[in-house]
Amino acid sequence: MDLSPKAIRFIIDALEHYVEHFDQLVGNENLSDDELADLSNDQRYLAALRQSLQLQHAELLKSNAMLSQSLADASTHPAVCTN
């Protein structure tokens, strides 16, 4: 899937809110051990997914910055064509 940096950022923010929601649910004393284990597993999965997306976001921003710099360099220093 090819997502823009903005789309990835929105997903990361949504995952952060979802993890916070899970934090509140885990504090519920009425949960059974199975429910608590399921929530805990889901919470770890969401955290890992968020971390993976954060890395992808950082790499995409770095790649875009390098491309922008290359384009800026090319426009200020055009290649000399020799025949």
- Angle between helix axes 5-26 and 33-76 (nearest 10 degrees) is 160
pLDDT above 70: residue 76: yes
Predicted pLDDT of residue 74: 73
Q: Contact, 36 vs 60, CB < 8 A?
A: no
Helix, strand and coil in the chain, % to nearest 5 = 80, 0, 20
**Number of domains composing the chain:** 1
Predicted pLDDT of residue 46: 92
| Listed ranges 4-8, 26-30, 77-81; the one with the highest mean pLDDT | 4-8
pLDDT tens profile 10-58: 999 999 999 899 888 888 888 899 999 999 899 999 999 999 999 999 9
Residue at 79 is within a domain: no
Question: Looking at this protein, which amino acid is placed at residue 77?
Answer: H
Residue at 28 is within a domain: yes
Residue at 57 is within a domain: yes
Residue at 49 is within a domain: yes
pLDDT tens profile 66-75: 877 777 777 7
